A = this chain, B = another copy of it.
């Protein structure tokens, strides 16, 4: 995602830097393919940048912001990650306290290849100026009326349904297997909810790719819902589902259904009731 967000900005004629220290060979390949300018250390990137856009796994967002604030960065910092509005607020305070400006952001959609697929939501003072950076690129910037952390809030509620309902369906598939009614469930779905068997297949085969990132995102969504006065249990359960699939990150995909079902049920206690009697 970072590569296509960077390219969207670069399309407008802006210099686009990346800090290579400690990054993987794959990240280097993507950065070089897009023609981003390499600087080695984050402190040098901070010194040379007017705007920094943070796009990283959600659980790493706070640490990255601390590192940037620690350099005394005085430009605009856009946190575009899937984080709770409360955390976005704390990151904003940290950045502003260190002398910079903060714009809250979030990204909804796949890596942007053409306009219309992917929105970069922006909120708070300075959002309109950041939005202009995206005018020429494939990612569509949308400035939200509302509050300075509305972009993070929107991402939380959007992902709450998409990734939450995917985790729910995975859990149902695991439960049906454990209770030995999985074939009957598929036959019933084929009659009454015909889209679910194919959706189930895709989830069993591909959910493990990003599960290691989704676990933290689900925990953030659970926190966000509890702070909004709603139950956090949907997404703490979803975090557990993605945690169980986290080891699939390095698999080749599609993963066999049997393996995903085994991973979903790994560590499960035997049911106290014996259905074989």
| A interface, CB within 8 angstroms of B | 85-86, 89, 108-109, 119, 121, 144, 146-150, 153-154, 156-158, 160-162, 164-165, 167-169, 171-172, 174-176, 178-181, 184-185, 188-189, 191-193, 196, 224-225, 227-234, 236-238, 240-241, 264-265, 267-273, 275-277
Contact = CB atoms under 8 A, between A and B. Distances in A.
Is the contact region of chain A dominated by helix, strand, or loop, or is it mixed? helix
B171 A230 contact: yes
Contacts of A277: 89, 147-148
A147 B276 CA distance: 6
Given A162-B193, A234-B168, A184 B150 contact: yes
A85 B146 contact: no
A62 B100 CA distance: 63
A277 B102 CA distance: 14
A234 B232 CA distance: 9
Given A89-B277, A144-B184, 9 more contacts: A146-B180, A153-B275, A154-B184, A165-B165, A168-B168, A171-B231, A231-B241, A233-B234, A233-B236
A264 B160 CA distance: 16
B161 A196 contact: yes
Given A160-B168, A165-B168, A275-B85, A175 B264 contact: no
> How many protomers of this protein does the assembly include?
2
B161 A228 contact: no
B144 A181 contact: yes
B178 A230 contact: yes
B109 A192 contact: yes
Contact of A271 (B108, B162, B180, B229): B229
A165 B238 CA distance: 12
Given A164-B168, A273-B86, A188 B229 contact: no
Given A108-B192, A273-B86, A154 B228 contact: no
A172 B146 contact: no
Contacts of A148: 275, 277
Contacts of A178: 228-230
A185 B228 CA distance: 16
B150 A229 contact: no
A227 B193 contact: no
Contacts of A180: 146-147, 150, 153
B181 A146 contact: yes
Contacts of A192: 108-109
28 contacts: A85-B179, A85-B275, A86-B273, A108-B192, A121-B184, A144-B181, A150-B179, A154-B184, A154-B185, A157-B175, A158-B188, A161-B193, A162-B193, A167-B234, A168-B168, A171-B225, A171-B231, A175-B224, A178-B229, A178-B230, A179-B224, A179-B228, A227-B271, A229-B267, A230-B241, A230-B264, A231-B236, A233-B234
